[in-house]
Amino acid sequence: MAVAASSLILAVDNLHTEYIAGLAALDGLLTCAFIVELVLRMSRDGVVCHRGAVLRSTGGLCDALFVLASVVEIVVRGILMASNGAGSSVQSTSGLASGRGAAEIAISIARVIRCVRPLRLLSVSDSVALVGVALGESLMSILNVLGIVLLAWFILAVLGVQLFAGAFRRCSDPLFPEGALLDPPDGWTTAIKLSPTVS
């Protein structure tokens, strides 16, 4: 439930609009809940050194990365809002070379990391986890099939160019008699003269 609410806040909020105080409070509250959950798991299972420790498992490492990304986003956004004045927009005016541009890049990277958090919910259901494992194991076979399809497209493209190159130079529309000048629709100043029939 908290993951879904956090993802919804991430989808609704926008970096270049007014930062709504209610969303900020809810985002901070959910981030605090995720921090408490991570600290409790670390106190129960250990941090790194014990078997089954949080940072030794992929899921625990991902959770720690998601929490760290949330904290970084909240801190950087708070610094930007403090420098702009309370309640103002976080828009950059001096480009990527400024500190503000770098801070916006940091916020964007943290948001991208946070967007992956709902994928952790897939491991809750055994059937969904089974589908994920099956997709992971069949990835090389899918890439082999993709390579064969791309090779077939390439062969057909070369064949089409060899067979039809120059065959469509002649226009058979009675509105455009041979030798007529065409005015391109997009405002080009040059005119294209239709060539006579291909021998």
**Mean pLDDT per 10-residue section of the chain, whose length is 199 residues:** 73 61 78 89 85 81 86 83 59 46 79 78 75 87 95 94 75 66 51 47
94 and 139: one domain?
no
Domain count, the chain: 3
Instruction: Say what the pLDDT of residue 98 is.
Output: 53
Dihedral (CA of 35, 37, 40, 46) sign: negative
If asked whether residues 59 and 109 sit together in one domain, one would say yes
Write down the pLDDT at residue 131: 84
- Residue 63, pLDDT score: 84
87 vs 6, 18, 20, 24, CA distance in Å?
21, 7, 8, 11
Last residue of a domain, one of 92, 109, 124: 124
Q: Does 18 lie in the same domain as 98?
A: yes
Q: What is the pLDDT of residue 92?
A: 40
Are residue 59 and residue 139 in the same domain, yes or no? no
Asked if residue 191 and residue 155 are part of one domain, the reply reads: no
Burial of 25-38, coded b for 16+ CB within 10 Å and e otherwise, reads: eebeebbeebeeeb
**What percent of the chain is helix, strand and coil (3-state, nearest 5)?**
65, 0, 35
- Looking at residue 138, what is its pLDDT? 93
160, 86: one domain: no
| Residues spanned by the domain of 197 | 169-199
| CB of 66 closer than 8 Å to CB of 75 | no
DSSP 116: T
